[in-house]
Structure 1
């Protein structure tokens, strides 16, 4: 893993997106990288651990180049110009020439080093695509819960990524679906949200959710029925269940506690 002013100067035009073929070739030569290859981009929300910038490839054979997110202008996919970039200011960015295990191993390596929160882009096939990969990695980072140390791949968080890419629609969705729920006192609201989360994590099993929550299954059933009444949506209707799951994601990603 490498970092330094020279690397940042060469990576900057690539990570900004829209680099000309001449700039791509110059950067490839300066960095000793192939123009075409298996690449991913990582965006961290906290300073990179010292162990992550050691020279040489990691155990998977992946090679890393680190820089800062500042100074990479561009257009956030699905938003106004610079929207994601503004939220990336001061964060750490890495270009990864992937080993055989791909982005999943890169994410696992960062978890092992105690990095995070962070987002990892899908794999792209050339240095010319690093700008798009950086925007996707930045979007993945935005799906991490506030205060968490998660390292997530975009492909693991696509529905949440859609939500964070359209904050005005996310706010509207939360108000439309969970509006009555949000008027409850915090303790009561948290209880219903916790029950819904447990039910979802247990595959829709009331019995397993009750065991996880340490209460009677009838208690879980009654809480879920109350949630359905408050939101005017049924957990047994697939389209309405999608509304509830997406609204729950918006609530999870907001800075306010449930």
Structure 2
């Protein structure tokens, strides 16, 4: 750039700086005319936009005119604008469009002043136009970089806040109304709704992520690792519907089967991990109870498998597994004689299990085991003899059924 062009730029910049208020008003009006979002005044008010536009036009003119320290101040101002607009939630594309409108207004003002210039000065117009857009591009680039970095920082901060409030719910601090309200707001869900907690057995080498599969069927969820498990809060469908499908379930919405069957179906199909599901609950403040019950449900499953346990479908298993000492005592009390019967043990236990599962029907048990009805009766009689309990007794049948469940859990 020769001395003549440098002098012309400085002259134009000084002249236009004298018209700074008019140019600022023109730019604000131009941005409003081309951006419905800016024109709405939300999230950027007209006063906020005018302050930013005035500063930007002033710095851009000083930069074009070669006035002192303008370049460094432009980058600082651009960074500040990028940070502010990211915090306000203004889309980056909309902000960049506003910068382009600013370049247009500045260039139009300079071009108007060049119309009556000499031919030699008018030959400099092309270079001056390039200088205007170089300034706008540099300004836009710094602003956009800062905007993106701020967005990442805000997202990380929000993720941390959401995670902390989620942990507060699971730790039982949701009883504080302020915590419950903040958690609902951060997670974007109502305090009252239909929820369940899910606990998944984690493989550290291949951590599970159930969220995409659940989202695909319309189930919102939020997940965080807790030790060797993954804990999730799932918002279920409306009461009386099969969540994710909209089909009427026709079941009591308070039961686990009705409230969590769609959730369990998706987890069984797509998760590939053992998982426990709590019964549905209707207040976020009950998330800690949901966590405890989901852990109890998971505890009824064998390690390393991929089954999904709904607690309400495995209450007996959960109760029997809660106290190992009492469970073992139950087995000794009701099946000790059979367990010590040597070669008979296996066939007697299998026959007893099928007989109880078929409603104590000798005929149906015989069909299932491919033997004669009298053989079944003889084996059940032998169980009664070894345990000292009559087969006709409801108390005996209950004890045998529970003891068999304990043996099943022990095998798992």
Larger helix fraction of residues: 2
TM above 0.5? yes
Mapped to 1, the partners of 2:214 and 2:381 lie a distance apart of 56
State the structure with more CA Rg.
2
Mapped to 1, the partners of 2:213 and 2:364 lie a distance apart of 48
Q: State yes or no: 1:208 paired with 2:364.
A: yes
Structure of higher RCO (CA pairs closer than 8 Å, 6+ residues apart): 1
Specify whether residues 196 and 146 from structure 1 end up closer, same or farther in structure 2 by C-alpha distance, changes over 3 A only.
farther
After superposition, the C-alpha distances for 1:49-68 in whole angstroms (9 at most, x for unaligned) are 75623277242x22122222
User: Does the 8 Å CA contact 1:43/1:92 hold for their aligned counterparts?
Assistant: yes
Structure 2: gaps of 5 or more residues: 1-157, 243-258
With structure 1 as the length reference, what TM-score do the two structures score?
A: 0.79
| Deviation (angstroms), 1:46 | 4.5
| Deviation (angstroms), 1:233 | 2.1
Specify whether residues 201 and 58 from structure 1 end up closer, same or farther in structure 2 by C-alpha distance, changes over 3 A only.
farther
**Number of positions where the alignment pairs a residue of Structure 1 with one of Structure 2:** 232
1:22 match: secondary structure: helix
1:190 match: secondary structure: helix
What is the CA RMSD across the aligned residues, in angstroms?
Answer: 2.5
The partner residue of 1:105 within 262, 282, 288 is: 262
User: Does the 8 Å CA contact 1:8/1:68 hold for their aligned counterparts?
Assistant: no
| Deviation (angstroms), 1:92 | 2.1
Residue 79 of structure 1 corresponds to which residue in structure 2? none
Residue 335 of structure 2 corresponds to which residue in structure 1? 178
Mapped to 1, the partners of 2:387 and 2:393 lie a distance apart of 13
Mapped to 1, the partners of 2:404 and 2:168 lie a distance apart of 38
After superposition, the C-alpha distances for 1:22-64 in whole angstroms (9 at most, x for unaligned) are 22222222211211111001122344875623277242x2212
Structure 1: gaps of 5 or more residues: 71-89
After superposition, the C-alpha distances for 1:127-161 in whole angstroms (9 at most, x for unaligned) are 11000011111112222356653322211222222
2:210 match: secondary structure: helix
Specify whether residues 188 and 67 from structure 1 end up closer, same or farther in structure 2 by C-alpha distance, changes over 3 A only.
farther
The partner residue of 1:157 within 303, 309, 314 is: 314
The partner residue of 1:17 within 172, 196, 209 is: 172
User: Does the 8 Å CA contact 1:46/1:115 hold for their aligned counterparts?
Assistant: no
User: Does the 8 Å CA contact 2:214/2:266 hold for their aligned counterparts?
Assistant: no
With structure 2 as the length reference, what TM-score do the two structures score?
A: 0.51
Residue 57 of structure 1 corresponds to which residue in structure 2? 215
| Deviation (angstroms), 1:114 | 4.7
The partner residue of 2:346 within 190, 194, 213 is: 190
| Deviation (angstroms), 1:234 | 2.6
After superposition, the C-alpha distances for 1:161-200 in whole angstroms (9 at most, x for unaligned) are 2222232221211121122222244x63222221112112
Specify whether residues 149 and 230 from structure 1 end up closer, same or farther in structure 2 by C-alpha distance, changes over 3 A only.
farther
